[in-house]
Structures are given as structure tokens and as C-alpha cells.
Structure 1
Amino acid sequence: MRVLLTGGAGFIGSHIALLLLERGYDVLIFDSFANSSSNVIKRIENFLDNKALKYKLRVINGDIRDKKILESIFSKCVKENKPIEVVIHLAGVKSVVESLTNPLYYWDVNVSGTLNLLLTMKEHQCYSLVFSSSATIYGLSSYVPILEEQKISPITPYGQTKVAVENLFYDLYKSNVNLWKICSLRYFNPVGAHPSGLIGEDPKGIPNNLFPFITQVAIGRQKTLSIYGDDWETKDGSGIRDYIHIIDLAEGHLSSIDYLNTSESCLEFINLGSGKGYSVFQIIRQFELSTGCRIPFSIESRRDGDVAVSYADISKAKRLLSWTPKRSLEQMCLDGWNWQMKNPNGYG
């Protein structure tokens, strides 16, 4: 089976690509490399060579907003008598803060880009899609664990673009319920890295997320970790979130493909998380215990839009996808630190 993996050179995409190749899929990575590195591809190829695995990998540099490139990719695959059978769509922009200052860019890339992809898929009779959505669409939900049926109320343009795409899926599916097969996966917080340390998370500039900030403090790239509030209504006063190992998340995508392959038609919105809540202080303690590194931190004011507790109900993923996260918080810390030690400057 040939898979088109948009955004396949990013943190999440690179881990999915490696698992797909190990499973024997024919993989086309489509990426603009605006927020990723071409070194990721070399790392994947080297890993597969070292493992003496048979694989087929092709990489296309392009922007999801360029419909002509998308059409040429699908057409070429048909001419090769190897059409694209399923798309995993990760390409997009994802900074919550940036989306507040540049919403037009976010709507253009995330919504217009997805529309281009869907139009091209329809033209070439490819109707199977796994989409990268986000738990940010739940907004300031105070009910935990968060179920897929809960109210959708994003508070940022980034979240609004994800909701817009999900609404587009609903309209598309409803227009022909016997045609499309779509899984929209609502990620919580993917962390860690591949156990080999060859691929991992390499954010541009100062990290926005907790885990890469911790590892950069541990390696000396950042001085101290900022904790936004120690007076939340939690056991230790710090905010609680759902963190999932990147390999568990990647495996969720392969399970989604398996589900689509056995379904006549479907539209499913599915949480992917650990199903557990970890506080900031709990994560710091576990990281220090697992690695022996001390993480200095400072307490800052709460940020607008934050909530005390947020973690997923993952019963739907377990039921439909036969998927369960396997890796512990300790493993997330160890693998994330292994990546950072072996790559102190990321892919640079």
C-alpha cells in the first residue's frame, strides 16, 4: 500500500514515517521543510540501512497550498500503476501564539491547504484519510477526562482552523456516506523520541512546550524552566496535562489505517493521549530521577487560556482502533533525554 504522508519530516511525521517503512508501506513524504530539517530524511534512511530493512521512500519538497504539485504527485503515482491509497495529513502550522498574531496565515495553510488536498484526493478517487487534529479544540473544558463528545470551543485561531477542517470532513462525509473513510485524531501532548536517539523533537527557537524546554535546560541551552502558576487547584499547585510518548502516538496512526482498511465508510473523531494526567512538578521530579539532571525553574504568573487539569478519555481509541499506549512517563523522559544528549543542537 502506498501512503502519502504530508508534513512527514516533522517531529510527529518522522516517527510515523519510520514505523510505516518498517511495516512495509510505500511512503511518499510531502513537506515544505519550513519547520523541519532535511537531515530527518537522512536519519531515517540511515536507520533503515543499518537494520537491513527493505523499504520504499520518496520525498517531495512542496507546499500543501500548491494544488498543482499535489495533482502531479497523485497523477505520477497512477502512471506508475501504484496509486496513493491512503493519506496521513499532518502538514500545517501549529503555534498557538503565532496564530494570534497571524491568523490569515493559519487559515490559509491549515484550511485552504487541506481543501486543496481533499479536492485532489477526490479527483483521483483516493478516499481514505487520517488527519492530525488537536485537543486544543476543546478550549477551556473543565471536565476530565475529556470525551470526544464534549463541547468544542477553541479559544485561538489555531484551534479554530482545526475545527473548521473537522466541520469540512463532516460535510464531505455527509454528502456521500458510502464513499469517504476518515479518522481525525485529536492529539494531546506528544513527547519523547525514538529510542535510537536518531530522530526527535527539534523546535525552532525557544520551545513553547514543556518537554523540549526541560531537555534544553538539562543540556544547557536554556537557563531555567518557567512554570506558569503554582497555585492551581491541584495536589501540588501546578497544572496537569496529558502527555503521550511519540511512538505510542505514531502507532495510533498505523492502527487508524488498519481501521480504515476494514471499514466500508466512516468518519471518526478520536482522542490520542495517555489517558493520564501529569503535573508539571511531577514531570520535573520524574525527569530528574530518571536522568540525574537537575532542572532549575522559576514560578511565573498564570497564562491566559490555561486550565488546571486536562487529560483525555481514550476509551474510543481502545475500542475502535484496538490501540493502547504502552510507554510510561519514565520512558518518555529517558527517550527525550537520550535524543537531546545525542543531538545537543537538534538537527543543526
Structure 2
Amino acid sequence: MAVRLMLLGADGFFGQHVRARLAQEPDVVVTTVARREDVMPDLQLDLTESGVAVAHAIREYAPEIVVNCAGSAVGEPAALAANNLVAVANTVDALLTAGRPIRLVHLGSASEYGRVPAGTAIREDAAERPVTVYGLSKLAATRLVHTAAAAGLDAVALRVTTPIGPEAPASGLLGRVAAQLRQVATEGSGGITTGPLEDVRDYVDVRDVADAVAAAALRPHGRALPAVLNVGSGVGTPTRRMVESLLTLAGFTGGLRMDGGGAHRDTSVQWQCCDVTAAREFLGWAPTRSLETSLRDLWESSATLAPC
């Protein structure tokens, strides 16, 4: 018998890749949910507007599993709070009051940890001190999921590090650099501008993230998970190296300026690397794609995106 799964945020960077990964599962029927009508979801729904509407959708489509890829990485504080916390609150409330068991897999963020000592691979039990509104909103949502799990909901939050790969949005650094490179190629001249590139990040391919989501969502019944699992490469990589590798892939020989703004000193995180031992143990998951593959596929996919 097929498993019914509802995918929230099916039109986003994570959602598109999770949807593609789940399509490989012949016994999974996916209901796609998105805010935008133009992406043709099975259900157009704004998770932030009405808890009643979310509860109605859960009753109507009767999913056994809900995967939440919805949310925002950029925007004003009110929008981040709505998209990253209110939407999760409405979803959790609908699942807790559904009257039947429903599994929830929620995508969190390593930004929830905030600053950590350089050289440290952060475990899930580390202190959480986010330094951005985004990180704070994601941490609040993760704690809500944790509380729901303590109340009996079969729920896990996957705390994802810095995602890269095909269709990476221009809201992220590497997607933005790729868009600039395409613009330079179109115009025949110009340079690349970024903010400071002194930080180290734990880059993970978005398709590896999708594999982790599938492993968490489709695990056998009765296999309990910790409330939070890190999902990343487990390796810290200098951001400058990633940018320079992307420039080399593109055959770019022009100038690179790093004075284009960036994170304020008060909200900057210089080091990010997460320990993914628990995800390996509980999900049987490990990242399989190299950073070179991720960058190559990001660059190739950027040919179809509009220039910045």
C-alpha cells in the first residue's frame, strides 16, 4: 500500500530536490503544497495565514508523513518570524490535533547554533546562541518541533548546514556569484563582487540533504529518532576557496572584489562545521557528493536562471 506524504514548500530550493528524491520511491504518493499558484502545486496554501486552513488540508489529504521544506532565509524580521515560526506552529498544531499518528520531518538550520569555536565540529547538544533573526526564528521553530515530539508527535528537525548544488538561489553567496558570472558572460565584461570571504562553512549538497529527508521520512515505524539531527558534510571549507573554484569552473579571469558588503560584525559567524555522527547512526545516511560535483552542477544549472 502506498504511503501518503505531504511536502510543504515544494517550490523552494530544498523542496524541489526533496520532491525529485521522493519521486524515486514507487510506493510514496506525494501531495505538493506551495504558496505560489504559478508553480502548479497540488494544493496552494499559505501556511502562515490560518491554522484552520492547515488543519483542513491535513484532514482532506490525510497524509501519513509531512515534510516541511517551507520557510525563508532572507527578509524583514516580521516575514522571517511568520514564514519560519508561525507556519511551523500552525503545522504542528494541525498534526497534534489530527486524531491519528502523523510523522513530521522539519528542516532546520545550523544557523541556530550561532558562533562556535573555530575547529569545533558542533554536536546537537551544543549550546544554541543564534546571532541573526533568521537563526533565531529557525531555532524557535526547532524548539517547537522538539516540544511537540515530547508531547507525542513523531517528529524530527534536521539541522542543515550550508546547502549548495543545482538551482541554488541568488539569495545565497554561491548562487549569487554564479548569477554574476552569467551576467558578465552575457555582457562581455565586468567583475565579480562579494562581501568578505574569510569565513569557513560546512557545505552540503542539497541532493544529499534530500536523501537525509527521505531516510528520516520513510524509516520503519517504531524506529525513534532524536529530536534534532545535524545534516551536513562534517567538513569546514573556506568560503573563498569555494568562490575561487566556481570562478575557475566558469573560466573567469576577471577581477574579484570583496568589498560589496556582507554580514555585519555583530551577526557574522566565522566558523561552521557540524558533527553528523548521529545522522549516520540513526538514519544510515552519509553525504556522497563531492564539493566539486556540487559546484559543477550549480554552475551548469545557472545557465537557465535570469542574470542578477
User: Would the TM-score normalized by the shorter structure come out above 0.5?
Assistant: yes
Q: Deviations over 1:300-330 (max 9, x none)?
A: 3773222332111111111111111111111
Q: Identify the residue that residue 128 of structure 1 maps to in structure 2.
A: 103
Could you say which residue in structure 2 is the equivalent of 1:46?
none
Equivalent residue for 1:3, pick from 5, 24, 27: 5
Deviation track 1:190-231 (CA, whole Å, cap 9, x = no partner) reads 1111xxxxxx23x4xxx34221022112211684231315xx
Aligned counterparts of 1:103 and 1:281: Cα–Cα separation in 2 = 29
TM-score (normalizing by structure 2) = 0.87
Aligned with 1:60 (options 7, 25, 43): 43
Q: How does 1:136-155 map to 2 (within 5 A)?
A: 136-143=111-118, 144-155=120-131
1:187 partner amino acid: V
Q: Which amino acid aligns with 2:56?
A: S
CA contact (8 A) 1:288 1:295 kept: no
Does the 8 A contact of 2:146 with 2:155 survive in 1? no
C-alpha contact (below 8 Å) 1:225/1:295 kept by paired residues:
no
Distance in 2 between residues matched to 1:264 and 1:273, nearest whole Å: 22
Contact 1:191 1:246 (C-alpha < 8 Å) held by counterparts: yes
- Pick one of 58, 82, 101 that aligns with 1:74: 58
Change (3 A) 1:264 1:255: closer
1:24-63 CA-partner distances (Å, limit 9, x unpaired) = 2211111112xxx835x5xxxxxxxxxxxxxxxx621110
- 1:1-348 map, 5 Å: 1-24=3-26, 25-33=28-36, 38-39=38-39, 59-65=42-48, 66-77=50-61, 83-95=62-74, 98=75, 102-124=76-98, 125-143=100-118, 144-175=120-151, 179-193=152-166, 200-201=167-168, 203=169, 207-220=170-183, 223-228=191-196, 238-259=198-219, 261-263=220-222, 265-294=224-253, 296-300=255-259, 303-304=264-265, 305-341=267-303, 343-345=304-306
CA–CA distance in structure 1, aligned partners of residues 203 and 225 of structure 2 = 28
**Cα distance, 1:137 vs. partner?**
0.7
Unaligned runs of 5+ in 2: 185-189
- Please tell me the residue identity of whatever aligns with 1:306: S
Classify the secondary structure of the residue corresponding to 1:91.
coil
8 A Cα contact 1:181 1:264, kept in partner: no
Amino acid in structure 2 at the alignment position of 1:38: D
After superposing on structure 2, the runs of 4+ consecutive aligned residues of structure 1 that deviate more than 3 Å are 264-267, 288-291, 293-296
Q: Quick one: which amino acid aligns to residue 5 of structure 1? A: L
Query: SS at the partner of 2:19?
Result: helix
**In structure 1, what residue type is equivalent to 2:285?**
W
Name stretches of at least 5 consecutive residues in structure 1 with no aligned partner.
42-57, 78-82, 194-199, 230-237
Letter in 1 for 2:88: T
Indicate if the aligned counterparts of 1:139 and 1:153 stay in contact, CA closer than 8 A: yes
Residue 80 (structure 1) aligns with: none
Query: 2:161, 2:203 within 8 Å by CA — same for their partners in 1?
Result: yes
CA contact (8 A) 2:63 2:102 kept: no
1:233 matched residue in structure 2:
none
CA deviations 1:223-277 (Å, max 9, x no partner) are 4231315xxxxxxxx2211111111111110011133x34355442111111112
- Is 1:284–1:295's contact at 8 Å kept on the other side of the alignment? no
Seq. identity, %: 21
TM-score (norm. length: structure 1): 0.77
